[in-house]
Amino acid sequence: MIARQTLLFWLFIVSLQAFTTSCSKDRNLTDLQKAYIQQPIEQSGSDRIWKEVHFKRISTAESFFGNSTSLHLTPEHKIYFGDRGEKVIRKLDLELNQVDQYGNGRGSGPGEFLRFYNSVIPDSDSNIWVADEDNGRITIINTNTREWETINTERPVRHVIPLNDGKSALDHPLLGLLTLYDADHQKIRDVEPYLISPENWQILMQGSFAVAEDHSFIKAHYFTNDFIRYSPDGNLIYFRRPIEPPPAISIRLEDNPNDIRDKPEIFRIKNYTSAVRIAGNQIHLLLSRLPNGYRIQDSVDVYQIENGDYIYSYRLPEAVSDFALNDKYLVGLTEETGFLTVWEIENNISKP
Number of domains observed in the structure of the chain: 1
Q: Identify which of 317, 330, 324, 237 has the alpha carbon closest to the alpha carbon of residue 274.
A: 324
Give residue 105's pLDDT.
Answer: 86
Structural domain contains residue 139: yes
Could you tell me which residue, 257 or 26, shows the higher pLDDT? 257
The pLDDT tens digits of the residues spanning 316-348 come to 988 888 899 988 999 998 767 778 899 999 987
Asked if residue 244 belongs to a domain, the reply is: yes
Count CA atoms within 13 Å of residue 283 on its CB side.
29
Q: What percent of the chain has pLDDT over 70?
A: 67
27 SS3 class: helix
Domain membership flag for residue 1: no
Domain harbouring 285, CATH code: 2.120.10.30
Residue 17 — pLDDT band, cuts 50, 70, 90? very low
Q: 0.85 cut: is pTM over it?
A: no
CB 131 within 8 A of CB 209: no
Taking alpha carbons only, the member of 79, 85, 83 closest to residue 97 is: 79
Q: What is the pLDDT of residue 95?
A: 93
Name the nearest CA neighbour of 274 among 305, 250, 302, 295.
295
Predicted local distance difference test score (pLDDT) of residue 291: 54
Query: Would you say 267 and 290 are in contact if contact means Cβ atoms under 8 Å apart?
Result: no
List the one residue out of 322, 338, 351 whose CA is nearest residue 120: 322
pLDDT over 60 at 76, yes or no: yes
Paired with 10 in beta bridges are none
Residues pairing with 46 in the sheet: none
Contact by Cβ (8 Å): 319, 298? yes
Cα dist from 343 to 9, 309, 336, whole Å: 75, 27, 17
Residue 99 is assigned to a structural domain of this protein: yes
Is the pLDDT at 138 greater than 80, yes or no?
Answer: yes
Long-range CB contacts for residues 208-213, cutoff 8 Å, separation at least 24: 208/118, 208/273, 208/274, 208/275, 208/276, 209/118, 209/119, 209/121, 209/159, 209/161, 209/171, 209/276, 210/276, 210/277, 210/278, 210/283, 211/121, 211/123, 211/161, 211/162, 211/163, 211/278, 212/278, 212/305
Residue 291: asked if its preceding bond is cis (omega within 30°), the reply is no
Q: 346 and 54 in contact (C-beta within 8 Å)?
A: yes
38 within domain boundaries = no
Q: Is residue 280 part of a domain?
A: yes
Is there a domain that residue 100 lies in? yes
pLDDT reported for residue 339: 84
Can you give the residue range of the structural domain that contains 74? 49-345
Do the domain assignments include residue 26? no
The pLDDT mean for the chain works out to 75
pLDDT per position as a tens digit, 23-52: 333 334 445 444 444 444 444 445 778 888
Q: What's the pLDDT tens digit per position in 148-170?
A: 888 888 878 888 889 888 889 88
Long-range contacts of 161-165 (CB under 8 A, 24+ apart): 161/121, 161/129, 161/209, 161/211, 161/217, 162/121, 162/123, 162/127, 162/129, 162/211, 163/211, 163/215, 163/217, 163/232, 164/215, 164/232
